[in-house]
Each structure stands twice: as structure tokens, then as C-alpha cells.
């Protein structure tokens, strides 16, 4: 094993395990809560187990896995100060979502860009989006899960040289997102499909009409006022009131904010410095995802990895910008820092796909090295 590589990995693993233990141990000392003591033992052990045994067993990318696990642990820590039992429930949600990560990683080994893959994924994705039309009061959000399925269908169609159909699918999904009022998701989806179509095909003859249709759809939606552009100046005030290092009890200004956004809770309890540095971890995650995409051997894997990276990175960027009031979008949460189980599953499934594609790239490279060794 390369000494330089192992050094970076071990340092990160050691720091994340230590931090995960301390971040639950310190609040546990205040009231002697058994749930927090349990989390202080359970979370570091789980991180260590996943980064060593699970990643090796399923040939998953260790860096993506380590980053994702730490972000999930930060989400649990955001709840631990205020309500240890909710934090315990969040840890169970993360544990369940980790299964989605493993499924995503394993699926990438067997999934091929066939017509069956395209049609099944497109059907499921559109069905989930359309389900919101027929049943507006769904107890759980399915938009992110639908976007994951649609991304698989888009990548499969692009890999099959059916760029026109891929763009058509993207536009239909965009229309459904706009009709159901998911404006923020619609903006993200539009940017992602246009960028992916540009990367996969690059023909202006297809891209310009697609761009025109996307602009027209947004214009119509804006004229019909199907969405609410609400500012978020109150969240900026709340973040400022949290200070650099935060406090055990959240300030009053936090009570009016989105309770499901764990980033805000994290900033309130541990301060802006810690929350900002945690949010910056999306940068290496995105860089890693783009590296995986550029190293992929097949177009399907390349488009899928780039799409997954874009989806996580753009969502994180949009969430941070909207928290600080730079974007007039509401309802966006940082990936992995959410208390919604379907969203968490969808995001970890995306991360799992990246891990699986990275593992496949490594396997391909090892095969090449084996052939070269045989040649000698």
C-alpha cells in the first residue's frame, strides 16, 4: 500500500472517529444521558466498521464513504444537544439509509444501460413525481428519490445514444416538478440535465432547443405564480445570533426556522465555524465524484457519476446560499443533514452509486495492470 495514500486515509479516519466520539461524549457529561453515551460508543464504532470492513467487503470508495458517514454523524450531533432521543432516532434513520448506500454500490456493478433499465427507472421516477399530483398530502417526500431514478434513466438513455429521448424525459420531469410546486428541485434538475446533456453529447442543435424549452417552462410557471419565492432573512439573523462557537441552548430566533434543517441546528449548537467547515466537506466530496466520473470507462457510468456529483454539490450550494439569503428558494436542505428518511435514503443511494462506480474503476485498472503484468 502506498504510504502517502494510507497516511491521508488513516489521519482522516482517526480524526473522524475521535471527533464522533467526543461530540457525543461532551453533552453526555452534562446530564449523564444514557442515549448520548450509547451514541458516543455506537457512532464511532459504526464509522470505523464501515470505513474498514464494509468498504473493503463491497469494494466501495473509502473517501466518499468516510465523508458521507461523517456528515451523517454531524447531523445526529446537531440533534443530540437538544433532544438525545431524537438523535437516537436519527441515527437509526442513518443506519437504514446506509443500506441504500450499499444497494447503490452493489447495483452499479450489475446495472447496464439497457432499454429495460431506462424504461423502468423513467417509469418509477415519473410515477413518484406524478403521485404528488394525485395525492398532495403524501406523508413523506419522494421528490429526491424520483430525481435519482430519473437520473439513472437519463444516463442510460444518454449512453444508448438516445440523447433526444433523454432530453424529452428530462423536460417531462421538469414540467411535473414545476406543476407540483417543487420550484427549487425544478431549478436544480434543469441545471443538471442541461449540463449532463452538454457533457454527454455537446451538440448545440439539441442543447439550444432544450434550453429554450426550459426557459419557456420557467417563464410560464413564473407568470402563473405556481410557486412562492420567500426570502430567508430570518435564518441569517438566527445564524448570526448563534455566534462563532454556538451554545447548548438554541437562541429564540431559531424557533421560527425550518426544524428539519439539521445544518441550522448544527450552527446553533456548535457555531458558525464548525458548521461552515462541515459544509465545506462537500467540496472534497464533489471533487472526488468528478474524479470518479472522469475515470469511468463507460459513458453510462461517467454520466451517472457526474450527475450524482452535480446533484449533491448543487443541492448543497443552493441550500447554503438560500440559508444566507442569496437565493430566494425555500425548502432546500443540505444533503445528509436532513431528518427525512426518504431524502436521506435517496442521497445515500447517490453516494453509494459513486462508491460503486469508483470500485468498478479500480477493478478495471487492476485488470489492466494484471494484463500488463502477464505481458512481462
Q: Stretches 29-37, 255-263, 317-325, 343-351: which one binds other proteins (CB under 8 A)?
A: 29-37
Shortest separation between residue 303's beta carbon and other proteins, angstroms? 12
Residues in region 257-276 near other proteins by CB under 8 A: 270-271, 273-274
| 161 touches other proteins (CB under 8 A) | yes
Cα 351 from chain centre: 7
Shortest separation between residue 157's beta carbon and other proteins, angstroms? 14
How far apart, in Å, are the Cα atoms of 109 and each of 59, 157, 189?
10, 18, 26
Q: Choose among 177, 180, 172: nearest CA to 137.
A: 180
Residues in region 283-342 near other proteins by CB under 8 A: 284, 287-288, 291, 295, 297-299
What distance in Å separates the CA atoms of residue 249 and residue 143, rounded to the nearest whole number?
Answer: 33
Which residues 6+ apart lie within 8 Å of 271 measured at CB?
242, 243, 244, 245, 246
| 83 touches other proteins (CB under 8 A) | no
| 30 touches other proteins (CB under 8 A) | yes
Backbone phi and psi for residue 189, each to the nearest 5 degrees, phi listed first: -65, -40
Which CB, 34 or 231, lies closer to other proteins?
A: 34
What distance in Å separates the CA atoms of residue 260 and residue 234, rounded to the nearest whole number?
Answer: 16
Residues in region 193-222 near other proteins by CB under 8 A: 202-203
Shortest separation between residue 135's beta carbon and other proteins, angstroms? 41
How far apart, in Å, are the Cα atoms of 3 and each of 56, 185, 252?
18, 43, 50
| 248 touches other proteins (CB under 8 A) | yes
Q: Stretches 141-149, 189-197, 233-241, 365-373: which one binds other proteins (CB under 8 A)?
A: 365-373
Burial (CB count within 10 angstroms: exposed 0-12, middle 13-18, buried 19+), residue 136: exposed
Name the residues that contact other proteins, by CB under 8 A. Answer: 2, 4-5, 7-9, 11-12, 15-16, 18-19, 22-23, 26, 28-34, 37, 63, 66-67, 70, 161, 202-203, 245-246, 248, 270-271, 273-274, 277-278, 280-281, 284, 287-288, 291, 295, 297-299, 364-365, 368-369, 371-372, 374-376
Amino acid at each position: 500500500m502506498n504510504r502517502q495514500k494510507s497516511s491521508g486515509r488513516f489521519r482522516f479516519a482517526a480524526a473522524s472517529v475521535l471527533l464522533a466520539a467526543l461530540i457525543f461524549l461532551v453533552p453526555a457529561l452534562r446530564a449523564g444521558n444514557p442515549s448520548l453515551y450509547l451514541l458516543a460508543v455506537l457512532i464511532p464504532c459504526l464509522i470505523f466498521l464501515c470505513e474498514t470492513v464494509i468498504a473493503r467487503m463491497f469494494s466501495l470508495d473509502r473517501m466518499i464513504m468516510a465523508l458521507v458517514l461523517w456528515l451523517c454523524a454531524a447531523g445526529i450531533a446537531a440533534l443530540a444537544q437538544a433532544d438525545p432521543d431524537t438523535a437516537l432516532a436519527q441515527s437509526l434513520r442513518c443506519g437504514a439509509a446506509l443500506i441504500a448506500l450499499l444497494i447503490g454500490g452493489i447495483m452499479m456493478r450489475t446495472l447496464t444501460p439497457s432499454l429495460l433499465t431506462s424504461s423502468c427507472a423513467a417509469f418509477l421516477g415519473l410515477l413518484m413525481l406524478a403521485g404528488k399530483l394525485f395525492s398532495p398530502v403524501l406523508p413523506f417526500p419522494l421528490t429526491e428519490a424520483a430525481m435519482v431514478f430519473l437520473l439513472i434513466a437519463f444516463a442510460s438513455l444518454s449512453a444508448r445514444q438516445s440523447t433526444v429521448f433523454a432530453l424529452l424525459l428530462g423536460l417531462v420531469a421538469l414540467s411535473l416538478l414545476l406543476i407540483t410546486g417543487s420550484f427549487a428541485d425544478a431549478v436544480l434538475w434543469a441545471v443538471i440535465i442541461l449540463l449532463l446533456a452538454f457533457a454527454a453529447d455537446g451538440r448545440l442543435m439539441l442543447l439550444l432547443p432544450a434550453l429554450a424549452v426550459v426557459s419557456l417552462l420557467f417563464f410560464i410557471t413564473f407568470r402563473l405564480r405556481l410557486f412562492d419565492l420567500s426570502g430567508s432573512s430570518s435564518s441569517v439573523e438566527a445564524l448570526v445570533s448563534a455566534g462563532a462557537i454556538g451554545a447548548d441552548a438554541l437562541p429564540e430566533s431559531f424557533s421560527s426556522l425550518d426544524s428539519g434543517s439539521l445544518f441550522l441546528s448544527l450552527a446553533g449548537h456548535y457555531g458558525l465555524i464548525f458548521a461552515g467547515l462541515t459544509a465545506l466537506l462537500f467540496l472534497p466530496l464533489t471533487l472526488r465524484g468528478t474524479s470518479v466520473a472522469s475515470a469511468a470507462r463507460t459513458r453510462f457510468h461517467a454520466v451517472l457519476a457526474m450527475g450524482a456529483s452535480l446533484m449533491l454539490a448543487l443541492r448543497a450550494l443552493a441550500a447554503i446560499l438560500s440559508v444566507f439569503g442569496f437565493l430566494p428558494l425555500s425548502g432546500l436542505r443540505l444533503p445528509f443533514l436532513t431528518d427525512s428518511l426518504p431524502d436521506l435514503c435517496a442521497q445515500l443511494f447517490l453516494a453509494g452509486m459513486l462508491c460503486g462506480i469508483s470500485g468498478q474503476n479500480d477493478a478495471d485498472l487492476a485488470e489492466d495492470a494484471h494484463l500488463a503484468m502477464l505481458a512481462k
